[in-house]
Amino acid sequence: MRLQTLLETPSMQQMRVIAGERGLNREINNIGMIESPDIANFLAAGQFLITNGYPFINTATDPTTLIKAMHAANCAGLGFKDHRYVDHLSPAVIKLANELAFPIIITPANELISETMRKMSRIILNSQTAELSRILAANQTLADLLLKDPSPTTVLNKCSELIDHALFLMDSHFRVISGSQNLPMTRRALTEFLRHQTDVDYFNLNSQITIAYQQSQLTITPLFSAYKENKAFVGIVDLDPGKATDQMLTQVVLNTLSFFNSRVDMLNESAFRNQSGFYLNVMDGGISNDLINKNLKAQAIEPSTKFHCATVLVTTSHQSLLSNHLLEQVQQLTLWFIKEYQAPVIVFSLKQQLVLLINEHQNAQHFLTALVQFIQPKLDKQSRLIVGYSYSVLPLTELATIYNEAAEALALSKNGPEAVTIYRPKYVKELISLIPDNEAKSFVDRVLGGLVGGVSANEQLNLLNTLYGYFYYHQNIAEVAGHLDIHRNTVIYRLKKIEKMLGFTLDDPEQTQTLEMAVLLWHNQPTQK
């Protein structure tokens, strides 16, 4: 209880303050008696010491030393019995007590010190008992409230009523999401101030801080969360840090709101898993377009919206199967980053990967690069975050297509130096280069082997170059002749000779397709480049 509150009780009316009146708001929780001024090593916070003044008549002892020691120990005050040795208190002691706001109080002369101590102790004990009952009742009230699955505002209003202070709840981005009805400022103004006008590193904030705002003091404390990357904060307006009851009631409120926040975390995680299941079904073709469009509308997304698809993976040098902790860490960091910058991105999980659907209006390369730069330093040194994303931008109904592109780009990231890789569409020449050399040579020999017999190596090369030009210039004889610098009749002659030697006809689409593939493989061989 406060020393001021104790002095206001009827049985304490005879006491009077002679110095340090500004310090009457000090907490008092126990009473002691001074037999010697040499007690500096035995002082305790909240202690009120009473003396008859005799120890201070010894001029070898400086009473200001005791005053300074009691103030440093945050003692409640010093009591002198009236009409004894109080006159020996020097003006210097009174002046020091006033400067330190350390109360010096005169106790009744007609009352034994032991009786004064007993009366004060009884008042303190009764106050502590009442405070404890109040705390227990508050704890029970809040526990009963949580069983009713209340809204955040309902919980805050009840908490505010119990501790007699306005409260506000913030998410992990220092955005005020709810406030008690007696909050003296708007949530929007408070969010603007906390996020943009303070230098608080809220992502790494793990201990209580106090911030001055307008005419108030805001005490902000992190709430316990199942995921440290998604912690929330509670703010208390004008909390008195020196009042023990306030501190204990505040702890009850913090415990209640932490439990409430953890339950929200679990509900969010369950919703995330359900969302992941939905998008996996979309990818597998198990969801109708109508249901897909309905789901998008529920998220305020136009069904015609197109997306890049990105896959996010953590690779480690020491384990093939990632721990759940590491996967959850990357998931929570990704979700935090998206919410911090309010990016138009949908997230779901697939096995040990995160899949991101990035709105076509968002710069995918910029966003993904920033995401990696945010997450990578927070992982252990053996872990590497890599991302692959699609070249195509398609509606959600084409999720399988853009996911496959992202997955292929991710595979390139695993072996490449870049953390973020975009899918590169394969052209015919690139696709041909992917065919193993031995298989390509076998196919070429089988299809074009008939050109070897009965002609010279030079004529064989002329025939093959003519055939390659024939396909390259889309069967335009004049273009082929111009490119090879020969007469068009020569081109026709060579083509007829090729048909005869190979037993193919260039008028047959299927045979032409086989022949064209063989010529492309031949032209792609290193010896032909």
Q: Cα dihedral sign for 138, 143, 147, 152?
A: positive
d(CA 82, CA 47): 20
Q: How confident is the model at residue 406 (pLDDT cuts 50, 70, 90)?
A: very high
Query: Looking up tokens 């316990």, which residue turns up?
Result: 224
Is residue 131 scored above 80 in pLDDT?
A: no
How do residues 208-224 score in pLDDT, each as one tens digit? Answer: 999 999 889 999 999 87
Q: Identity (one letter) of the amino acid at 503?
A: G
**Is the per-residue pLDDT at 55 higher than 90?**
no
Instruction: Tell me, rounded to whole angstroms, the distance of Cα 162 from its chain centroid.
Output: 31
Instruction: Please determine, for residue 404, whether its predicted confidence score (pLDDT) is greater than 80.
Output: yes
Cα–Cα distances (Å) from 96 to 59, 121, 474, 496, in that order, read 18, 27, 104, 119
Choose the weakest-confidence range: 161-165, 311-315, 521-525.
521-525
pLDDT digits (tens, 9 = 90+) for 174-203: 999 999 999 999 999 999 999 999 999 999
Give yes or no for a contact between 32 and 50, defined as CB atoms under 8 angstroms apart. yes
**Does residue 219 or residue 145 have the better pLDDT?**
219
By C-alpha distance, which of 327, 375, 378 is closest to 354? 327
Instruction: List beta partners, residue 235.
Output: 168, 220
Average pLDDT of every residue of the chain: 86
| 312-360 pLDDT per residue, tens | 999 887 655 556 778 888 999 999 999 999 999 999 998 888 999 999 9
Q: Which candidate, 367, 365, 330, places its Cα nearest to that of 349?
A: 330
- CB neighbours of 187 closer than 8 A, spacing ≥ 6? 168, 176, 177, 178, 179
Residue among 17, 19, 24 nearest 3 (CA)? 24
153 in Cβ contact with 176 (< 8 Å): no
**Residue 448 Cα distances to 89, 443, 456, 467, 474, angstroms:** 120, 8, 15, 11, 20
Residue type, 294: K
The pLDDT of residue 529: 44
**212-220 contacts at long range (C-beta below 8 A, 24 or more positions apart):** 213/185, 214/185, 216/184, 216/185, 220/170
Q: What distance in Å separates the CA atoms of residue 220 and residue 210, rounded to the nearest whole number?
A: 6
Percentage above 90 pLDDT, the chain? 35
Choose among 242, 7, 45, 248: nearest CA to 123.
Answer: 7
CB atoms within 10 A of CB 471: 17
How far is it, in rounded angstroms, from Cα 158 to Cα 167? 10
Rounded Cα distance, 205 and 213, in Å: 19
Q: Please state, in angstroms and rounded to a whole number, the distance separating the CA atoms of residues 104 and 88.
A: 14
Rounded to whole angstroms, how far apart are CA atoms 478 and 462?
Answer: 17
The Cα–Cα gap between 441 and 438 comes to: 5
Q: Is 348 left (phi over 0), alpha (psi -120 to 50) or beta?
A: beta
3-state secondary structure 374-441: HHHHHCCCCEEEEEEECCCCEEHHHHHHHHHHHHHHHHHHHHCCCCEEECCCCCHHHHHHCCCHHHHH
| Paired tokens of 6 | 């104790």
Average pLDDT over residues 154-160: 88
Query: Alpha-carbon Rg of the chain, whole angstroms?
Result: 41
Exposure of 347 in the CB half-sphere (CA atoms within 13 A): 21
* Alpha-carbon span 336 to 173, nearest angstrom: 8
Q: What is the mean pLDDT of residues 401-406?
A: 93
The 8-class DSSP code of residue 525 comes to S
